[in-house]
Chain A
C-alpha cells in the first residue's frame, strides 16, 4: 500500500459544517434588548415631557423678565413677583447642610469602616443607618420641628423657624446618605494599597489620611454633592419646620449671615405655594419658571460633582 495521502474535506463535509456554524436568530435575546431599550425610552420620555412642560410654561417669565424674576421678592402680583428670597434661603440651607452633614457624615463613616470593632452592635448600627436613609422626609420634618425648632434650649439657639433650624433638619435628612456613600467609597479602596502604606511603616491614621481618603475622594464627593442636591429640592420637611411664604417683604443682601436666624423661605416652598394659588401667573408661569431655576441649580451641583470626581479619578488611575 502506498503512503496514505492527506484527504481534503469534501464539499458535502463543508455544507454540513456550515449548517452547524450558521448564524441563528436569537429571538429571546433580541426581545430582551428591545425591552431594555423601551424602558430607557420611557424613562427619557417622562423626563423630556416634564422638562418640556415646565420650560413651555415658564418660557415667558424666563425670557421676558429673568433678571427681575431672580432679584424681586415675593408679592401679591404675579407680574412683579420674584424668587430672590427663595434663592437666598435655599442657598443658606445648602450651606448649612454642607457645613454640618459633611464633616459629621464623613467622620462617622470613617469611624464605622476603619475603627469600630465588627460585632453585633456595630452591625445593628450599620443596618439602622441604612434604614434611616429610607425614612420619609416628612418624618425628618417632625424631628426638626420637635428638636431644632421647639427643642428646649436648641430652639432658642436656632431662633425657631429659621434657616438654621431647617438646615439642621435637612442635614439630619441627608446624613445617612453621606455616611453610606462615604463608607462604600472607603470599602472600595484596594487592600494592596493599604498594605503598601502599612508596609513602609505608616500608622493607621496615616494610611487613612494619605491613601484611603484620596482614593475614596471621588466617591465621597459624588455622594455628598448629590445629597446636597436632594436637600435643595425637599419641600415636605420645610413645611413642618415652618418655612414661610408671603410674609416676607425684605430682601436682605446675600452676605448678611444673621439672616440664618430670621424668617425665610426656600425654592421648593415657593413652588409649592405658587402652584396652589388661583392666579395663572403664579400657578403656571411663576411656578414653572421657579422649577426651571431649581433644576438648573441642582444640575449645576451635579456637574460640579462630576467634574470633581473625574479630576480625582484621573489622578488615581495614571
Chain B
C-alpha cells in the first residue's frame, strides 16, 4: 500500500489531507499512438479511489483515447500502441504478463451511446458474471443489486425477461451501468455517458454516480464542463496542440487538479481560457 500513497504529485492537495483514499490508477508518461501517429502525449495523472475524476477538453484532445487505454480497450484497434505506464494497484496494465480480458473485468466501461446487448434485461446483466464463471445461483441477487445501484430496479423489476432494446435511451444507459457493475469491478470508466441523453436522464445518471462513488472509482470523460464541475472531485484538462515531433495536432494533458481549482483558479492560462469559454 505504501507505494500507492504518492499523492504529493498533486500540487494543490489541500482538502483531502487525511482520508483513506489511495491511488488506484497511476498514469505515468502515457502516450498513445495510432500507427506512427502520436495521438496523445505527456499524460501523467494519479486517479484516486472513491472519487470521480473528470477528463474535459475540446474535441480531438485525446481524452477518450486516454480513457480507453485505462482498461486496454485500445487493444481492439490493430494499429493502436501505448507507451508509458498505467499502474493499477501497483501493477502496470501494459505488462506483458497481464491479460486484457481480466483487466476489463476489474475496470468496467460505460460507452457514449447506450449499447445494451439485443437480449433480455436479465441476460444483459448476467452476461458478465456468466462468462466470468460465477455460480448461477447468485444471478438473481446480482441482477437485483446491480439494477438497484443503477437506480433502474423499480422501473424494470417486473419485466426482466423483456428485451433491453425496448427501454428508453436513459434507461438503456443505466442498464449499461448496471451491466458494468455486475462483474464487480473497482473502477468504472465512463466515456461521455450522457451525451446521447436528455437533461432529465442526465440528471438520473449524475445522481447515480454520486451514489455509487463510495464503492467505485469513477473516471468520466465529458464534453459538458458543468457536468464535470457538478460531479467530479478532480478534473484533468486536455487540449490539442501542434506536436513538434510530427507536425500534427495531438492531444496532451494540460492540468490536473481538484475540480474547484480547475474551475476557479486554474494554474495554466489554456485551462482558464477553456473553462471561461474563451476557447473551445
Binding site for B on A (CB under 8 A): 117-118, 190, 192-203, 206, 210-211, 214-215, 315-318
| Residue in contact with B127 in the complex, picked from A200, A315, A317, A318, CB distance below 8 Å | A200
Least CB separation from A202: chain B residue:
B131
Q: Closest CB-CB distance, A313 to chain B, in whole Å?
A: 10
6 A-B pairs with least C-beta separation: A201-B105, A200-B128, A192-B115, A199-B109, A316-B118, A196-B115
Please determine whether B165 and A318 come into contact, CB atoms closer than 8 angstroms.
Answer: yes
Q: Closest CB-CB distance, A191 to chain B, in whole Å?
A: 9
Please determine whether A200 and B111 come into contact, CB atoms closer than 8 angstroms.
Answer: no
Please determine whether B115 and A201 come into contact, CB atoms closer than 8 angstroms.
Answer: no
| Contacting residues of chain B (94-153) with chain A, CB-CB under 8 angstroms | 101-102, 104-105, 108-109, 111, 113, 115-118, 127-128, 131-132
Q: Which of B3-11, B55-63, B175-183, B231-239 contacts A (4 or more CB under 8 A)?
A: B175-183
Binding site for A on B (CB under 8 A): 71, 73, 76, 78, 101-102, 104-105, 108-109, 111, 113, 115-118, 127-128, 131-132, 163, 165-166, 176, 179-180, 182-183
Q: Given A195-B76, A196-B179, A206-B131, output 20 extra A-B contacts at Cβ < 8 Å.
A: A117-B78, A192-B111, A195-B115, A196-B116, A197-B117, A198-B76, A198-B104, A199-B109, A199-B180, A200-B108, A200-B127, A200-B180, A200-B183, A201-B132, A203-B101, A210-B127, A210-B131, A316-B118, A317-B118, A317-B165
Please determine whether B118 and A200 come into contact, CB atoms closer than 8 angstroms.
Answer: no
Q: Closest CB-CB distance, B126 to chain A, in whole Å?
A: 10
Q: Contacts A118-B78, A195-B111, A196-B111 given: A201-B128 contact, CB under 8 Å? A: yes
Q: How far is the CA of A172 from the CA of B180 in the complex (A)?
A: 45
Q: Contacts A201-B101, A210-B127 given: A196-B117 contact, CB under 8 Å? A: yes
Q: How far is the CA of A316 from the CA of B120 in the complex (A)?
A: 11
Contacts of B117 in A (CB 8 A): 193, 196-197, 211
Please determine whether B116 and A202 come into contact, CB atoms closer than 8 angstroms.
Answer: no
Q: How far is the CA of A74 from the CA of B262 in the complex (A)?
A: 90
- Which residue among B102, B117, B163 has the maximum number of chain A CB atoms within 10 Å of its CB? B117
Contacts of A193 in B (CB 8 A): 115, 117-118
Contacts of A203 in B (CB 8 A): 101, 131
Least CB separation from B166: chain A residue:
A318
Q: How far is the CA of A267 from the CA of B113 in the complex (A)?
A: 53
Contacts of A195 in B (CB 8 A): 73, 76, 109, 111, 115
Q: Contacts A203-B101, A210-B127, A318-B165 given: A198-B73 contact, CB under 8 Å? A: yes
- Tell me the dominant secondary structure on chain A's binding face: helix
Contacts of A316 in B (CB 8 A): 118
A-B contact count (CB 8 A): 69
Please determine whether A318 and B176 come into contact, CB atoms closer than 8 angstroms.
Answer: no
Q: How far is the CA of A2 from the CA of B176 in the complex (A)?
A: 65
Please determine whether B176 and A196 come into contact, CB atoms closer than 8 angstroms.
Answer: yes
Least CB separation from B176: chain A residue:
A196
Contacts of A199 in B (CB 8 A): 71, 73, 104, 108-109, 111, 180
Least CB separation from B106: chain A residue:
A201
Q: Closest CB-CB distance, B118 to chain A, in whole Å?
A: 4
Q: How far is the CA of A195 from the CA of B182 in the complex (A)?
A: 16
Q: How far is the CA of A314 from the CA of B73 in the complex (A)?
A: 30
- Which residue among A193, A197, A199, A200 has the maximum number of chain B CB atoms within 10 Å of its CB? A200
Q: Closest CB-CB distance, A226 to chain B, in whole Å?
A: 24
Least CB separation from A214: chain B residue:
B118
Q: How far is the CA of A210 from the CA of B124 in the complex (A)?
A: 12
Contacts of A214 in B (CB 8 A): 118
Please determine whether A201 and B116 come into contact, CB atoms closer than 8 angstroms.
Answer: no
Q: How far is the CA of A197 from the CA of B165 in the complex (A)?
A: 16
- Which residue among B71, B101, B115, B179 has the maximum number of chain A CB atoms within 10 Å of its CB? B115
Please determine whether B78 and A200 come into contact, CB atoms closer than 8 angstroms.
Answer: no
Please determine whether A200 and B131 come into contact, CB atoms closer than 8 angstroms.
Answer: yes
| Residue in contact with B105 in the complex, picked from A118, A200, A215, A315, CB distance below 8 Å | A200
Cross-chain pairs A/B with CB under 8 angstroms, 7 sampled: A190-B115, A199-B180, A200-B128, A202-B101, A203-B101, A316-B118, A318-B165
Q: How far is the CA of A103 from the CA of B117 in the complex (A)?
A: 26
Please determine whether B102 and A201 come into contact, CB atoms closer than 8 angstroms.
Answer: yes
Q: Closest CB-CB distance, A193 to chain B, in whole Å?
A: 6
Contacts of A190 in B (CB 8 A): 115
Q: How far is the CA of A194 from the CA of B118 in the complex (A)?
A: 12
Q: How far is the CA of A215 from the CA of B108 in the complex (A)?
A: 23
Contacts of B116 in A (CB 8 A): 196
Q: How far is the CA of A201 from the CA of B105 in the complex (A)?
A: 5
Q: How far is the CA of A117 from the CA of B78 in the complex (A)?
A: 9
Q: How far is the CA of A215 from the CA of B76 in the complex (A)?
A: 19
Q: How far is the CA of A201 from the CA of B127 in the complex (A)?
A: 10
Q: How far is the CA of A210 from the CA of B102 in the complex (A)?
A: 18
Q: How far is the CA of A311 from the CA of B105 in the complex (A)?
A: 33
Q: Closest CB-CB distance, B44 to chain A, in whole Å?
A: 26
Q: How far is the CA of A190 from the CA of B71 in the complex (A)?
A: 20
| Residue in contact with B118 in the complex, picked from A117, A201, A206, A215, CB distance below 8 Å | A215
